[in-house]
């Protein structure tokens, strides 16, 4: 009897151990822009599940955009309902680090013997490095480009891409004269005031310099005047950005200036026309710089369970490393911030996908997508958005007056010098 009971006890212990071994570690993940990235994670997830069958990744409702993503994380940090891993815009990482929400990845990186060999570009890691510690792994990087409906361009006899905004205006006029009702959409309403920063970096000027709003000078006025000229001379319609992408994909807009991130989405939904992408025009020739768009994966888990944290790191590392990063390029227009993805896995990819090559050719122009310092960064973004919208809808005609108004309001929201 004793032997039978002992045997039964051993079997019971074995069954419990087996059940525990098979029990999955569950983690939660949140990301923005479902129209861009849903298809990406559909590609990545089966590969991750095959490699990590004991980890279950639950995906939360997607963020509308990067501002929504940051606002959501700030709220969830207060309510104690954070996901384990979040995707945040490259220009929105700092506030999560400053508030102690994003965990340093250094303890996990230090355990990876071949981390550097895994292919991360040092320049990309610096975008997520704060106080000499990496807090995010870049997942995707974008630059602004031009999208062209070559069928509509042909109506006006145009075969070459405009290289300056003055040439863009002349192209608009030629298109209008040849029956193209909607010649242009210029992405002023893209997340994070990205196109304002593009016009500033085009002139080799930062938008934030020494903690101050650097739009007060000649470069800032030139940026505003350039927008006004484009909007007025091209008679650009005030489209919401999703509507603009849909209109271009449907063949209703001849030229669209937007992030390369949307190439995959546009190609999947485009009508019967020839699509080509071209370099982002400059103010007086080739831009001197352009802001790096994109996002990074950050560990924001509030769990103290080592298994959850290690599972979160496994997911975070997988999606940003070679194969995961390569799926970003395959399904979107983003560039992987990972040498293994670009140079090995995607060796022939860009030759076969020239519309996605355009942004890669502009990489030497890459500059920081600047964050607005302090707790009011999101409010600053909204103030600038409202100011640019006033040009689009015709409320603002005096760009010098608008410049002064923006500088005063933005500067009042930035941290005081020495604070």
Tens-digit pLDDT profile for residues 329-375: 999 999 888 777 877 788 889 989 999 999 999 988 999 899 899 99
Q: For residue range 203-244, list pLDDT tens digits in order.
A: 999 999 998 999 999 999 999 999 999 999 999 999 999 999
Q: Is 376 found in the same domain as 285?
A: yes
Q: Is 105 found in the same domain as 34?
A: yes
The reply to whether 394 falls in a domain is yes
Q: Is 261 found in the same domain as 193?
A: yes
Structural domain count of the chain: 2
Question: With contact defined as beta carbons under 8 Å apart, do 28 and 58 qualify?
Answer: yes
Q: What is the CATH number of the domain that holds 346?
A: 3.40.190.10
Structure tokens at 394: 């015709």
Q: Is 209 found in the same domain as 83?
A: no
The reply to whether 102 falls in a domain is yes
The reply to whether 255 falls in a domain is yes
Q: Is 202 found in the same domain as 113?
A: no
Closest CA to 128 of 141, 115, 113: 141
Q: For residue range 77-124, list pLDDT tens digits in order.
A: 999 999 999 999 999 999 999 999 999 999 999 998 877 756 776 767
The three-state secondary structure class of 260 is: helix
Q: Is 310 found in the same domain as 216?
A: no
CB atoms within 10 A of CB 176: 18
Q: Is 298 found in the same domain as 277?
A: no
Q: Is 360 found in the same domain as 384?
A: no
The reply to whether 6 falls in a domain is no
CA distance 353 to 351: 6
Q: Are strands 366-367 and 290-291 parallel, antiparallel or unpaired?
A: parallel
Closest CA to 56 of 81, 36, 84, 77: 84
Closest CA to 70 of 225, 298, 274: 298
Q: Is 396 found in the same domain as 300?
A: no
Mean pLDDT score of the chain, rounded to an integer?
A: 91
Residues of the domain holding 349:
25-142+293-367
The reply to whether 324 falls in a domain is yes
The reply to whether 386 falls in a domain is yes
Question: Which residues sit opposite 120 in a β-bridge?
Answer: 338
Q: Is 383 found in the same domain as 261?
A: yes
Question: Of 7-16, 18-27, 248-257, which range is least confident?
Answer: 7-16
The reply to whether 11 falls in a domain is no
For 238, residues 6+ apart whose C-beta sits below 8 A from its C-beta are: 389, 392, 393
Q: Is 388 found in the same domain as 268?
A: yes
The reply to whether 216 falls in a domain is yes
Given a cut of 70, whether residue 3 has pLDDT beyond it is no
Which ranges of 129-280 does DSSP label H, i.e. alpha helix? 150-155, 165-177, 194-202, 218-233, 241-249, 263-269
Phi, psi of 180 (to 5 degrees): -85, 110
Q: Is 300 found in the same domain as 253?
A: no
């Amino acid at each position: 009897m004793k032997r039978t009971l002992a045997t039964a006890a051993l079997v019971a212990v074995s069954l419990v151990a087996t059940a525990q071994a098979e029990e999955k570690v569950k983690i939660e993940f949140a990301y923005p822009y479902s129209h861009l990235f849903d298809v990406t994670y559909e590609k990545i997830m089966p590969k991750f599940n095959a490699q990590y069958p004991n980890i279950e990744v639950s995906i939360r409702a997607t963020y509308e955009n990067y501002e929504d993503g940051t606002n959501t994380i700030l709220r969830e940090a207060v309510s104690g309902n954070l996901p384990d891993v979040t995707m945040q815009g490259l220009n929105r990482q700092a506030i999560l680090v400053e508030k102690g929400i994003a965990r340093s990845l250094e303890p996990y990186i230090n355990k990876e013997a071949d981390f550097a060999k895994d292919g991360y570009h040092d320049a990309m890691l610096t975008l997520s490095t704060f106080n000499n510690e990496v807090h995010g792994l870049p997942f995707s990087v974008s630059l602004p480009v031009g999208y062209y409906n070559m069928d509509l361009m042909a109506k006006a006899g145009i075969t070459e891409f405009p290289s300056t905004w003055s040439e863009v205006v002349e192209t608009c006029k030629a298109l209008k004269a040849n029956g193209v009702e909607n010649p242009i959409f210029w992405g002023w309403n893209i997340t994070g005031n990205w196109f304002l920063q593009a016009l500033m970096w085009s002139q080799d000027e930062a938008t934030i310099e020494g903690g101050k709003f650097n739009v007060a000078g000649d470069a800032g006025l030139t940026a505003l005047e350039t927008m006004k000229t484009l909007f007025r001379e091209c008679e650009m319609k005030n489209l919401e950005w999703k509507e603009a992408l849909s209109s271009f994909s449907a063949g209703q807009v001849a030229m669209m200036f937007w992030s390369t991130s949307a190439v995959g989405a546009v190609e999947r939904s485009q009508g019967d026309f020839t699509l080509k992408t071209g370099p982002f025009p400059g103010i007086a020739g080739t831009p001197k710089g352009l802001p790096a768009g994109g996002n990074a994966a950050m560990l924001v888990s509030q769990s103290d369970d080592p298994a959850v944290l290690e599972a979160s790191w496994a997911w975070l590392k997988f999606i940003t490393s070679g194969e995961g990063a390569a799926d970003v390029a395959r399904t979107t227009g983003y560039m992987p911030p990972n040498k293994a993805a670009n140079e090995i896995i995607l060796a022939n990819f860009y030759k076969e996908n020239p519309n996605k090559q355009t942004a890669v050719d502009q990489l030497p122009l890459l500059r920081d997508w600047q964050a607005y310092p302090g707790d009011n960064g999101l409010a600053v973004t909204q103030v600038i958005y409202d100011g640019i919208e006033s040009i689009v809808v015709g409320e603002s005609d005096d760009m010098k007056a608008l410049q002064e108004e923006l500088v005063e309001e933005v500067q009042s929201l930035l941290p005081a010098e020495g604070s």
